[in-house]
Structure 1
């Protein structure tokens, strides 16, 4: 009886919107003022200790297994919990006792392949034609997802102000779109690095289809193994995979592979006030070994790597919109996903996409673009940002 009372007290302080909760005993209670925007049905009692120790993992698994049903906007429910001061979701003790996660080259390979090698067919269902799995850049409110993803690629390359004929390395090159644009539109000799066999095969096939042999190369190897030097480095959505203990090494590797006065554009998820660190649900089911650093962490490593920060741009709302479009695309193919991968997998990805959108909406994570240059002298970049936007017209 006491635990049930404590359970209700816990949920009554969890959200800043009115929510109706139907408990496993059939009783429904409404928390907050007004008509409930979201209804939560708990089909099974979840131990209170589990709820308060690792809430995202426990609730995520319950949702995957159909033990929790949500009627209404799940993204808004999660964003509400993140906004609510004192919510059990925002006071997660797991992050205060962050475990060390090993990131040897073999372990990194396993982590990357467990996520990206689900199969190209799966990602093609909802990513769009560009097959870009990172924050898009919406120059106009009515940009389609595919247009916004190409906007992002151009935005990255324009920031570098690259010269035709020079060499670019893309660390964590995904399905290769940035490589293709760099070669076809900017005249660069582009090399990509990935640990995903699926992405590697896909990129190899596209290189042949586009006739880009000799202009684009993709390597199935760890970024730590790169020995050559490049005029430019890009890395999009990559540092989130290297692990807390390898962030310094990662930025030092970027510095090492750049020629003197070389430039790098590093794009990734981070936190402005505090990092998301390691989330137990995400680490177990979505991104094994992942770690979301703070801006301060990254800037410290950038300075230690003897790189110059030339520009820093937040794109939080762009990633929220990207995720919302991905989820909209995903909802259209849920029956197919259920058939091919099963109900729990389908619900897991539904939760993941909406929870990430909620995190960006609430502002507890962000995405940043770091424009970096390597010493010793001037950067060769214009004095103001105007050149970026002039090139985008």
Structure 2
């Protein structure tokens, strides 16, 4: 009875629109005024201690396991819950409880492979044909996801003001689209580094298939082991995986790999305030071993690494639209994903897209 009383008190302040909650014992209660816009079925009593300790992880896994079901818009429910907890996130005192978030090259490789090496066939099901797994750039509302991803690649490369024949390094090169465009359309000698064996093998195959062996190379290595100096450096959706304690060294490495007077463009997920990326759910399922830094801390790290800021562009609305399309694509192939993995994996994917829409903000830094 005590646990249920705590539940009721918590849920009465959890949302800013009317919600009906159906408890494990069959009792229902509506919180908020007006007609309920969603129903949350708590099919199994969850430990309040675990919710208090790791709310997003405990509730997210309960959704994956079917212990919680949401009828109505899960996006609306998640968004409302985050709006109600904004004041907590501005309280920096909770940061003292965060464990150190630096990790070795071996740990980094394990983290990356656990996320990206679950199979290219899986990602091909719901990403666009370029296999770009980061925020797209929508010039027009009716751009397809593929066009928007190519827009993003051109937007990045154009900001670098590249000259034909010069060298480019892409740190965390993914499935290689930026490398191919840089070589084929801009005449650059492009090198990519990745820790994902699936991405590495795919990129090697594409280099041969496209006849780019003289212009494009890819290496299976940790960025900390990369040597040489380059005219241009790009890094797209990479620093989220670096870890809080490794971020200063990451920007120092970028500076080390740049020729004097050269240019870099760092494109990744950030938060508006310190601690925005401290989330057990994201750490376990999205960025294992990683950390999402604030914009201000990134600027500090860049300045300390003797890099000079030339441009900063927020792409939050573009990221929102990208996630909406990924969510739609994922749902369209859900049966195929279930055959590859299981229902719990499917629920994880859906919950992740909707949580990310309201939890993360994205900016590009040059």
- Range into which the TM-score falls when normalised by the shorter chain: over 0.9
Distance 1:303 1:219, change over 3 A: same
Is the counterpart of residue 60 in structure 1 residue 63 in structure 2? no
Q: Is the 8 A contact 1:183 1:190 kept in 2?
A: yes
Q: Is the 8 A contact 2:24 2:43 kept in 1?
A: yes
Residue in 1 aligned with 2:325? 325
Aligned residues: 366
**What is the alpha-carbon distance in structure 1 between the residues aligned to residue 88 and residue 3 of structure 2?**
16
Taking structure 1 as the reference length, the TM-score comes to: 0.90
Q: Is contact 1:82–1:90 with CA below 8 Å preserved after alignment?
A: no
Find out whether 1:81 has 2:119 as its counterpart: no
Deviations 1:222-258 (A, max 9, x none): 0011111100000001111111111010001100110
Question: Residues 294 and 110 of structure 1: is their aligned pair in 2 closer, same or farther, counting only changes over 3 Å?
Answer: same
2:179 is equivalent to residue 179 of structure 1: yes
Aligned to 1:97: 97
1:137 maps to 2:132: no
- CA–CA separation in structure 1 for the residues paired with 2:328 and 2:202: 25
Aligned match of 1:147: 147
Which of 352, 361, 364 is equivalent to 1:366? 361
State whether residues 103 and 243 of structure 1, in contact with CA within 8 Å, keep that contact through their aligned partners in structure 2: yes
Q: Distance in 2 between matches of 1:348 and 1:257?
A: 38
Taking the aligned partners of 1:286 and 1:120, their CA distance within structure 2 comes to 17
8 Å Cα contact 1:14-1:86 kept in structure 2: no
CA offsets per residue over residues 310-347 of structure 1, 9 Å max, x none?
00000111101100100000001111111210111111
Return the alpha-carbon distance in structure 1 between the equivalents of residues 304 and 341 of structure 2. 44
Task: Look up the match of 1:297.
Answer: 297
Report the alpha carbon displacement of residue 94 of structure 1 after superposing the two structures with TM. Answer: 6.5
Is the 1:81–1:87 contact (alpha carbons within 8 Å) kept by the matching residues of 2?
A: no
Could you say which residue in structure 1 is the equivalent of 2:278? 278
Q: Which string of whole-angstrom CA distances, capped at 9 and with x for unpartnered residues, describes residues 173-204 of structure 1?
A: 00000000000111100000000000000101
- Measured after TM superposition, the shift of residue 268 of structure 1 is 0.5
Instruction: Determine helix, strand or coil for the equivalent of 1:269.
Output: strand
Q: Deviations over 1:67-108 (max 9, x none)?
A: 111111111111111111578899898754111134111110
Contact 1:327/1:353 (CA < 8 Å) preserved in 2? yes
SS in 2 for 1:158: helix
TM-score by length of 2: 0.97
Runs of 4+ more than 6 Å apart: 86-94
- Alpha carbons of 1:147 and 1:341: their partners in 2 closer, same or farther (altered >3 Å)? same
- Residues 183 and 135 (structure 1 numbering): CA distance in 2 closer, same or farther, change over 3 Å? same
CA contact (8 A) 2:167 2:190 kept: yes
Separation in structure 1 between the aligned mates of residue 94 and residue 353 of structure 2, nearest angstrom: 22
Of the structure 1 ranges 255-264 and 29-38, higher mean CA displacement relative to structure 2 is found in 29-38
Q: Which runs of 5+ in 2 are unaligned?
A: none
Q: 1:342 to 1:40 in 2, by over 3 A?
A: same
Secondary structure of 1:141 counterpart: coil
Report the equivalent of 2:245: 245
Give RMSD over aligned pairs.
1.6
Taking the aligned partners of 1:300 and 1:355, their CA distance within structure 2 comes to 28
CA contact (8 A) 2:89 2:275 kept: no
Show the counterpart of 1:306: 306
Name the CA distance, whole Å, in 2 between partners of 1:174 and 1:166: 21
Shift of 1:37: 1.7
Secondary structure of the structure 2 residue equivalent to 1:205: helix
When residues 86 and 215 of structure 1 are mapped into structure 2, their CA distance, relative to the original with a 3 A threshold, is: closer
Partner of 2:353: 353
